[in-house]
Amino acid sequence: MTATYRLDLRLGKDFNLGKGMSFGLYVDIFNVTDAQREVDVNSYFGTVLIDEPGQQIDNLGNPIDTSGFQPEPIEWQAPRSYFFGAKFEF
């Protein structure tokens, strides 16, 4: 499996209101590059793990033909998303 990467950013600005009070605005941008790589792959054929070398057998010891099995992605990185927020401190 290839390496995954992700870039998240936070931009914010605080405003001093005096007397120990402040107000802030911020935006979070998750997965800036919008990478959509797979994170997890289904590598099981029934109850048998396919990426083990050698002949595969079931729970009763019978051989299993897994030659046509193709592992498929079952989980991906989340797409780019934005969150906006405000805070008030006193």
Q: What is the pLDDT of residues 6-28, one digit of tens each?
A: 789 999 999 999 999 999 999 99
The DSSP output letter for 53 is S
Determine the pLDDT at residue 81. 92
**CA–CA distance from 10 to each of 13, 28, 34, 35 (Å)?**
10, 4, 16, 18
Quote the pLDDT of residue 57.
66
- At residue 14, the pLDDT reads 96
Domain-wise residue ranges, the chain: 9-89
pTM: 0.53
pLDDT band at 78 (very low <50, low <70, confident <90, very high): confident
pLDDT in tens, 25-74: 999 999 898 887 777 777 665 655 555 555 666 667 677 666 666 677 87
Buried b (16+ CB within 10 A) or exposed e, 8-36: eeeeeeeeeeeeeeeeeeeeeebbeeeee
The pLDDT, as a whole number, for residue 68 is 66
